Structure 1
Amino acid sequence: MRTLIGFCCLLISGVNVHAQAASNSPANSPASPKAALRLAQEGHCKEALPALKKGLASAAKDDHRDLAMAGVRCAMFMNQPESALEFLRVLEREFPSDPDTLYLLVHTYSDLSTHAAAELATKHGNTYQARELNAEALESQGKWQEAEKEYKTILEANPKAVGIHFRLGRLLLSAPNPPADMAEQAKREFEAELAVDPTNAGAEYVLGELAKTANSYDDAIQHFSKATKLDPSFAAAYLGIGTSLVAQKKFAEAVTPLETAVKLQPANPAGHYNLATAYSRTGRKADADREFAIHNEMMQRSGGASAPVQQPQ
């Protein structure tokens, strides 16, 4: 994993600059944008940083990109993350789609994250925040048992730590070779999370999915509905309500939550298919045909199979 200094040295060393003789022209005055940029390119970051900030205030907008990029690199090299973020905000605001900008954003935020994680581990290694970060890293590496141990250690020290039961439940559902009672164990973790944090819409949603998988559709609808109350933009929860109602053949009731799901997440083919089914079974043929056509087009683009058109019953 690269250090901040290593990353910034790499960026700066990649610039091939030929030093020019100093002159008294405005372009070579220490505060001029061109002089500031040249200082940065030559590696004189201590002198360049204040000059780059002044240069941004006086330079034409076309020059802002190069000045801000140089500012990010120098700020990271000087271990001044706040200054780096100031320059990054200029790039994000003025050049949001530029590929060089996006590349620099990825690496800079990554290095800032790495630096913060290292500082947390060094200065506060025994805190639950440091343990949680370590558990997340273990989980991302597929080290399920080690991650589970870390999460449980956190709960032993702080039983009311928010988010930990949720992560344990998610871990149970994600890990390979789960135990036979995996669903029941996960359910207990998500319920424990809600006891600590009743506002966790994600926990309600997963409980809904577990209930739906067990064909307990009334319980599923109850959990999905709570999730939508906690987070009105939770498209998957509306879809969960709709699919549970479709499974119960309550097609008329399913229309409204499915319409909401499609509105919130129009790129999800499952929403269009289930809405088409609900329309078809309630006699709304034109609407059903439209939704089936959207679904089939999405599936064809992704290489999936088209769905058969449902007939009203």
Structure 2
Amino acid sequence: MYKPIRLIVSSILVAFVATVTPQMAHSVEVVAQANTQSNDQLNQLLEQGRQLVDAGKIDEALLVYVQAAGLDPSDPKIYSGIAYLEALRGNYQSAAKFYRDALVLDPQNADFQYGLAYSLVKLEDYKGAADAYRKAISLKPDHLNAYLGLAVSLFRQGDYSSAVKTYEMVIASDPNNWQAYASMGMSLLRQENLPKAVETLRQAAVLAPNEAGVQIKLGVALLRSGDQAGAVAAFEQAAALSPRDGEIQFQIGEVLKVQNNLDGAISAYQRALAFNPNLVEADIAIGEIQLERKEYIGAIVSFRRVVDKAPQNPSAHYNLGMAIKGRGGRDSQAIAAFETALKLYEQQGDTEGVKKTQEALKGLKKSK
């Protein structure tokens, strides 16, 4: 029979199921105005840097601001601007360094603490990020984005209870903040507080009816709660809002399969592959249904696609062997598939996989 519903490890679990990423600190405008009382050369450099940023020439702007820092090494805003530009370039280690340099010169600046925290989140230093967000909040208690960032950092550390409390503080200050509701719902889901998670995510959906990500979160929560019909409705709404997202179509297929609507499931999986041809999970799901239905030619095609995309997947080689065996007349190909599966199962220490593959090989070799 079929495996339980799979929540594929991709945007479903990362971008949608996880929490909203904190916003980047905005420092370029500040840098452009920095140290207006200093010499003309410095002011000219800052204006040149601003123009380069406006033109999207980040690398050139960075060089100009580094030159400006050389002229006035005591201006923290220039260092924070360099940090911001480094973050734009994806150089978060360097961004964190320059935010720390700015904080040495101006330790009471909440925006610098926030920028440091953002950079640390991107470096996956969630403990350090949480500390920096807390400092930003202590300096600027109404900094809602810092609260959101703190909640994200707590969530990623597995401290779901503290994350929920932090989101509740955001909602108390901003009752229409759908991101806080959506992310709090996922924290509650991780705590297995399913009724409250669904209630919270429904509120997020009311506040943000056009956000596909919210519908995905709600669908996951409903699925975990056993409400398959509700989950399908949420996933279908997400698909309507984001019609070319293959992973949403995949989740619809998974729920339809559990409901034994196999034709509908295959159609959803095929739509998923049309939008995302590299979605191996959809090929696997189609192949499993075809194998169960004894549609061996179709199953062979599906599992050959899987082994091409994921050659280290032992189950794909095993199922390919089963499909070839079921069709008949190609025992040598089936044996080759089983032998590859056996080798991979052994490498992965999967004793159940080794056992079933050895039995399949034994049966084939006996019949020869």
TM-score class normalised by the smaller sequence: 0.5 to 0.7
Task: Tell me what 1:107 maps to.
Answer: 125
- 2:222 is paired with a residue whose SS is helix
State the one-letter code of the partner of 2:349. Answer: S
Question: What corresponds to 2:65 in structure 1?
Answer: none
Report the counterpart of residue 323 of structure 2 in structure 1: 278
Contact 1:45/1:74, CA 8 A, preserved across alignment: no
Aligned to 2:271: 226
Corresponding residue SS for 2:312: coil
Could you tell me whether the CA contact under 8 Å between 1:272 and 1:292 is conserved in 2? yes
For normalisation by structure 2, the TM-score amounts to 0.53
In the alignment, what sits opposite 2:195? 145
Matched pairs, number = 249
Deviation readout 1:164-205 (Å, 9 max, x if unpaired)? 222222112224xx4xxx322322222232233322322321
For 2:299, the equivalent position in structure 1 comes to 254
Question: CA offset at residue 235 of structure 1?
Answer: 0.5
In the other structure, the counterpart of 1:189 is 234
Write the distance in 2 (CA, Å) between the matches of 1:104 and 1:160: 27
In 1, Cα distance between equivalents of 2:260 and 2:243? 25
- The one-letter amino acid of 2:147's match is A
Q: 1:21: which partner in 2? A: none
2:360 corresponds to which letter in structure 1?
V
Instruction: Give 5+ residue unaligned stretches, structure 2.
Output: 1-69, 84-92, 137-144, 150-169
Q: Which residue of 2 aligns with 1:289?
A: 335
Report if the CA contact (8 A) 1:254-1:278 is conserved: yes
Supply the distance in 2 between the matched residues of 1:234 and 1:216 (Cα, whole angstroms). Answer: 21
| Equivalences for residues 64-143 of structure 1 within 5 A | 71=98, 74=101, 80=112, 105-107=123-125, 111=129, 116=145, 118=147, 121=170, 126-143=176-193
Deviation at 1:125, TM superposition (A): 5.5
Q: Structure 1 CA distance, aligned partners of 2:257 and 2:322?
A: 18
Counterpart residue type for residue 253 of structure 2: G
Contact 1:75 1:81 in 2 (8 A): no
TM-score under structure 1 length normalisation: 0.62
> Higher relative CO (CA 8 A, sep ≥ 6), structure 1 or 2?
2
**Structure 1 pair 262–153 and aligned structure 2 pair: CA distance change class (3 A):** same
**C-alpha separation in 1, matches of 2:216 and 2:341:** 33
Query: CA RMSD of the aligned region, Å?
Result: 4.5
- Give the C-alpha shift of residue 284 in structure 1: 3.2
Matches within 5 A, 1:133-212: 133-175=183-225, 178=226, 182-212=227-257
Q: 2:280 aligns with which of 214, 235, 242?
A: 235
The answer on whether the counterparts of 1:136 and 1:147 sit within 8 Å (CA) in structure 2 is yes
The SS at the match of 2:360 is: coil
For 2:79 and 2:278, the matched residues in 1 are separated by 42
Following the alignment from structure 1 to structure 2, what is the Cα–Cα distance between the partners of residues 104 and 168?
A: 26
Residue 215 of structure 2 aligns with an amino acid whose one-letter code is: H
Q: 2:96·2:116 contact (CA, 8 Å) conserved in 1? A: no
In the alignment, the residues of structure 2 paired with residue 191 and residue 103 of structure 1 have an alpha-carbon distance, to the nearest angstrom, of 32
Identity of aligned residues (%): 21
Query: Following the alignment from structure 2 to structure 1, what is the Cα–Cα distance between the partners of residues 300 and 323?
Result: 6
Structure 2 residue 310 is the aligned partner of structure 1 residue 265: yes
Change (3 A) 1:239 1:67: closer
1:258 maps to a residue whose letter is: F
Give the whole-Å Cα distance in 2 for the aligned partners of 1:198 and 1:103. 31
Residue 130 to residue 279, structure 1, CA distance change in 2 (3 Å)? same
Alignment gaps of 5+ in structure 1: 1-35, 54-65, 89-101
